[in-house]
Structure 1
Amino acid sequence: MFLAIHSNEVEIVMWCSPLLYPEKRSKPLAVALPASLTADLPHLREKTVKAGLIARTAAIFRVDEIIIYVDKHGTEDEGELLANILRYCETPQYLRKRIYTISALFKYVGLLPPLKIPSHTVASSLDGIKDGDFRDGVVIKTYKDGSLVDIGLDKPFLVPKKLKRGERVTVKINKTKDSLKLSVVSREEVKLYWGYTVNYEHKGLVDSIKSFNADLVIATSKYGDPITKVFNDMKDAIRKSNKILILFGSPHEGLFEICKRFKVNLSDIAHFIVNTIPFQGCETVRTEEAMLATLSIINIMHYI
């Protein structure tokens, strides 16, 4: 499918072809979300659903890391809830009972949409396993010179490395005619998009930015420059950058308001302050909606 978009300031021409197994991004991409993201919702059911929307958006656009920052004192517990549900979403279904115990926090996780990322859509039987496949697993038993790992098949398998019980690992499978041999690998070795990580250290916005150490920080705000005005400059900055971080405000406060309370100038911590939804029809745009719109544009910038 050929797509062309024209305006006075932006011209986009790209060829779109579907990828059955999407590769990970060549440059790490993270989003920073406020701990108060679900604070305005009265019921755990709605909080869970909103977290699921965030997880789906992150997966669709191959976000590598979700950073949660404390935007307001008293919302730390909301941040914990958000972090836990986002981690639950990212965990392959076959590992969830191993990793998560019964908790009131997960009462409504049945409402969460499946991510269907490559780490979730692996074969469920030995017959479907191919040599060189990657899978996530959980260590269920350790020995002096090895560990027993559950990788969601009929039985656990031994890896020749002593690991911590309960640890989640990624393994590469060497399949022979008679057996499977597993080796523990880092996520960096997997070429496909393998999901996001969640980072919540109870830090404020500024310290969270420093922790990620991005060389390109993009702040979103309805008071920012219209995306049509800065599109080409942002595109060039993305091409030259190595790590990208996108900042989002809360349901009740934008980034300008949050920074003002903490006596920080937003322009001092972000390279771009951009309105990715100019001429919005609604009085306010929700964080999850802004995230979807912004990442759609960033995704296009990667490929033109």
Structure 2
Amino acid sequence: MIFPFPRRKKLSVVLFLSIFDVESTLAEITIKLSNVLRALAEFRVSEVIWVYEFKEEKKKWNIVRDITEYALTPPYLKKYIPKKDSLSKAGLLQPLNIPSHIITPEFVEGEIRINRKGNIGLAVNKVPKSKYAIVTDSLNKDVCSYPFYPYYSGFAYKVLSYSKFLEKFSKIDNVILGSRSGVNLRTVEDKIKKTYEEKGIYLVIGPPKHGILKDFIEFNWLIVNFITKQGVKDVRAEEALYASLTLLNFILDS
């Protein structure tokens, strides 16, 4: 199997915690978040930034953070994650199946594994103390340290308040906002490619509660309509995420 590498340039996604406002149970939140995490992993997103507008919404961050950490952890290392109420529905998560999760039960020379507490998912003679290990001898079950993990290993994740988000993103111009009021994607393909190569890209998927344009109209952002002539009144955040990342992935191709 040929594993994908991380993107050459940074592709970050901004989402709002209010997308979970309609979910009333932990099971519902877990299922929706699972779909979001799958989308981020499928398109090799570098980072996801969650934004909360109100203090009540920040409570959801603990759930999102815990589930995200669990989902990104290789199967053989999940046992080191403490039991939490937020993970009680983790069995509903779809497996991410990113490269670090696709491991074999046998020794395969050249296979690189993440090491935690001396556990690389294999019974070896001696585990190096480094963060990563590579199988060097399948017959003698030998591994040695490796300086880095070369394949795509998931995305970073963090949270920002709405005010901090505005402060940070008002000063940058490598931002794409998905909106039905935006321009046709075909007219800005070259600009998107150029921006990506120079600075990377932030893709902002707006909150469901209100139109996001009113707060950002004066910012130097690129506003794009990724779903032209949409056949429904409202496109859900997770639907917009898949649609926009699919088209960006085709344009960036790296």
The answer to whether structure 1 residue 241 and structure 2 residue 198 are counterparts is yes
Q: Take 1:185 and 1:151, find their aligned partners in 2: how far apart are those partners? A: 15
Which residue number corresponds to residue 142 of structure 1? Answer: none
Q: Which moved more, 1:201-210 or 1:69-78?
A: 201-210
Which residue number corresponds to residue 159 of structure 1? Answer: 128
Q: What whole-Å deviation, never above 9, does each CA across 1:244-284 have from its counterpart, x for those lacking one?
A: 21111122234225x3xxxxx3441x531111111111111
Is there any run of 5+ residues in structure 1 with no aligned partner, and where?
Answer: 1-18, 140-148, 162-168, 260-264
Q: What whole-Å deviation, never above 9, does each CA across 1:40-76 have from its counterpart, x for those lacking one?
A: 2111111000110011101110111111122333200
**Contact 1:90-1:115 within 8 A present in 2 as well:** yes
Q: What whole-Å deviation, never above 9, does each CA across 1:124-162 have from its counterpart, x for those lacking one?
A: 23x3x213x3212322xxxxxxxxx2112236953246x
Q: Take 2:125 and 2:228, find their aligned partners in 1: how far apart are those partners? A: 53
**Contact 1:66-1:199 within 8 A present in 2 as well:** yes
Q: Secondary structure at the match of 1:296?
A: helix
Q: Take 1:156 and 1:279, find their aligned partners in 2: how far apart are those partners? A: 61
Q: Secondary structure at the match of 1:250?
A: coil
Which residue number corresponds to residue 190 of structure 2? Answer: 232
**Structural mapping, 1:1-304, within 5 Å:** 20-98=2-80, 100-125=81-106, 127=107, 129-131=108-110, 133-139=111-117, 149-154=118-123, 157-160=126-129, 169=131, 171-176=132-137, 178-183=140-145, 185-187=147-149, 190=150, 192-200=151-159, 202=161, 204-207=164-167, 209=169, 216-238=174-196, 240-257=197-214, 259=215, 265-268=216-219, 270-303=220-253
Q: Which has the higher strand share?
A: 1
Which residue number corresponds to residue 5 of structure 1? Answer: none
Q: Take 1:56 and 1:297, find their aligned partners in 2: how far apart are those partners? A: 16
Change (3 A) 1:230 1:114: same
Q: Secondary structure at the match of 2:13?
A: strand
Q: Secondary structure at the match of 1:63?
A: coil
**Contact 1:150-1:157 within 8 A present in 2 as well:** no
Q: Take 2:183 and 2:93, find their aligned partners in 1: how far apart are those partners? A: 35
Q: Secondary structure at the match of 1:277?
A: coil
**Contact 2:125-2:141 within 8 A present in 1 as well:** no
Larger RCO: Structure 1 or Structure 2 (Cα < 8 Å, ≥ 6 residues apart)?
2
How far did 1:208 drift? 5.6
Task: Give identity over the alignment, percent.
Answer: 27
Q: TM-score normalized by structure 1?
A: 0.74
User: Number of residues paired by the alignment?
Assistant: 252
Change (3 A) 1:27 1:206: same
Is there any run of 5+ residues in structure 2 with no aligned partner, and where?
Answer: none
Q: Take 1:184 and 1:215, find their aligned partners in 2: how far apart are those partners? A: 37
